[in-house]
Amino acid sequence: MQISFHGAAQTVTGSQHLITVNGEKILLDCGLYQGKRDEARRRNREFPFDASAVDAVVLSHAHIDHSGNIPNLVKQGFRGRVLCTTATVDLCGAMLLDSGHIQEEDVAYVNRQRKKYGEPPVEPIYTQEDASEALKYLEGIEYEKPYQLRPGITVTLYDAGHMLGSAIVALDCQPKEGRPNQRLVFTGDLGRPHVPILRDPTLLETADILLIESTYGSRTHPPMEESAEALKTIIKRTSHRGGKVIIPAFAVERTQLLVYLLNKLYHQGDLPEIPIYVDSPLAVNVTDIFRRHPECFDDETRGYILHEDPEGDVFGFRQLRYIRDVEQSKKLHTLRGPCVIISASGMAEAGRIQHHLKNNIEDPRNTVLIVGWQAPNTLGRRLVEKAPVVRIFGMEYHLEAEVVTLNGFSSHADQPGLLSWVQAFKKPPEQTFIVHGDPEAAQVLATRLRNDLGYKGVMVPSLHQNVEI
């Protein structure tokens, strides 16, 4: 078996690992690399392998840094199956089209700049039409039902508890030449136990080869209950002073989690009588997909829907309105009085949230609530740092609103979570590869696995490194 690490190697983005076994080439994830525009374009446009030679893709989950380059793979000649859960198929239906649209918009902007300097236009990495074509290759399979990919190669997906439809991938390979079976386990992104909506990550007993994510390999999260409690306090405090709560949130997962928590507060009588708006077309589409996949919910959420939520819809309640239409979104700009507006993008770098921030951050009665990690150099990060002046659409705005950051909503396992998950293995894997983490986080996790759990053969692969096992 050979493994080549073509993305999410010593970084958290662009997940892509090529496995060659029994002469078959299987790609685990095909994510977009997200980073500086020029570097991202270069890395995403060309694959470091022949796309038409890949026999199959196994996709852990729908996040764009794991799924987002599938349309380009198809464009470059891939004609195999993309196996994933049925919820992931549905989510990719919304997210890859959205990504195609973003690629087209981005190139339109770049080409306007290029024209000024007399440079020829560039093509988008892929279009919405390419994304639509690529969706035909996705095939949904059920959790924990082994699927024979090729003679001697079986794929089984287990719930990773990270987002709707997220999976841990197990590849059971029967090598030729009478060698023993090898089980490769790829965590994808691993979730946290005891979070709302999702089941806990499935514990596995065996892995010969392990690819484990390490996003928070060196960190411990505050408990989610603390952040949920703070959400209640912040909404009450802001509405008492007549202000609005503006929440930049990713349209997928984080928005649905917030709506679920607000739904609970509403039914407990703990939510002030103020309107709540989810203003993002993608979030609206994705919430509908969540509603279609109750089989992915944990027992607590299903019990809550059956017994405690009179409307039987955890993503809807009387005070909540979803906004798809652009004119209705603009009407929110003239609203008087307290309200909550949840909008994308999650780091406030694009989308409708920028309008809501521009209209509201100069009023000290308002609150900007940050509920996710903010990358350096983003508007979200400048808000977290409480920069006195921020630029939005080229204009300067004075930050007078209260800014609160809640760090407890992460959908990734932290260091204790990762260590406790691997302890379900009856014996340590022979080889462990630490992926999907910055170098420091990956090295810290590697050290803990070696020193605390006696792991041997632990490695933090570098980009494009090829390992023979």
Nearer to Zn ion, 1 or 164 (CB): 164
Q: How far is the CB of 433 from Zn ion (least distance, A)?
A: 18
Q: Does 189 help bind Zn ion (rule: CB under 5 A)?
A: yes
Given a contact cutoff of 8 angstroms between Cβ atoms, the answer to whether 213 and 187 are in contact is yes
Nearer to Zn ion, 63 or 448 (CB): 63
Q: How far is the CB of 167 from Zn ion (least distance, A)?
A: 11
Given a contact cutoff of 8 angstroms between Cβ atoms, the answer to whether 310 and 244 are in contact is no
Our CA dihedral for 212, 216, 219, 224, rounded to 10 degrees, sits at -110
Q: How far is the CB of 231 from Zn ion (least distance, A)?
A: 22
Cα distances from 27 to residues 50, 57, 79, 97, 202, in angstroms, run 12, 5, 13, 21, 22
Q: Does 213 help bind Zn ion (rule: CB under 5 A)?
A: no
Q: Does 29 help bind Zn ion (rule: CB under 5 A)?
A: no
Q: Which stretch binds Zn ion (CB under 5 A): 187-195, 197-205, 346-354, 429-437?
A: 187-195
Nearer to Zn ion, 221 or 264 (CB): 221
Binding characters for Zn ion, 52-91, by CB under 5 A (x = yes): -----------x----------------------------
Nearer to Zn ion, 372 or 461 (CB): 372
Cα distances from 120 to residues 126, 371, 374, 456, in angstroms, run 18, 41, 34, 53
Q: How far is the CB of 76 from Zn ion (least distance, A)?
A: 24
Tell me the C-alpha distance between 137 and 468, whole Å.
29
Q: How far is the CB of 160 from Zn ion (least distance, A)?
A: 9
Backbone angles phi, psi at 247, to 5 degrees: -120, 105
**277: helix, strand or coil:** strand
Nearer to Zn ion, 251 or 368 (CB): 251
Nearer to Zn ion, 6 or 66 (CB): 66
Q: How far is the CB of 322 from Zn ion (least distance, A)?
A: 23
Asked if omega into 166 is within 30° of 0 (cis), the reply is: no
Tell me the C-alpha distance between 134 and 69, whole Å.
10
Given a contact cutoff of 8 angstroms between Cβ atoms, the answer to whether 283 and 318 are in contact is no
Given a contact cutoff of 8 angstroms between Cβ atoms, the answer to whether 356 and 232 are in contact is no
**Element (H or E) spanning 101, and its range?**
helix 86-116
Q: Which stretch binds Zn ion (CB under 5 A): 49-57, 185-193, 208-216, 270-278?
A: 185-193
Q: Which stretch binds Zn ion (CB under 5 A): 29-37, 128-136, 182-190, 346-354?
A: 182-190
Q: How far is the CB of 282 from Zn ion (least distance, A)?
A: 16
Q: How far is the CB of 10 from Zn ion (least distance, A)?
A: 17
Nearer to Zn ion, 98 or 189 (CB): 189
Q: What are the beta bridge partners of residue 58?
A: 28, 83
Give the interface size with Zn ion as a residue count (CB under 5 A): 2
Q: Which stretch binds Zn ion (CB under 5 A): 148-156, 181-189, 196-204, 243-251?
A: 181-189
Nearer to Zn ion, 243 or 346 (CB): 346
What the block records as the tokens of 186 is: 């790829």
Q: How far is the CB of 79 from Zn ion (least distance, A)?
A: 26
User: Checking DSSP bridges between strand 182-186 and strand 167-173, what pairing results, if any?
Assistant: antiparallel
Q: First vs last Cα of the chain: how many Å apart?
A: 5
Tell me the C-alpha distance between 399 and 386, whole Å.
7
Nearer to Zn ion, 59 or 265 (CB): 59
- Residues in contact with Zn ion by the rule CB under 5 A: 63, 189
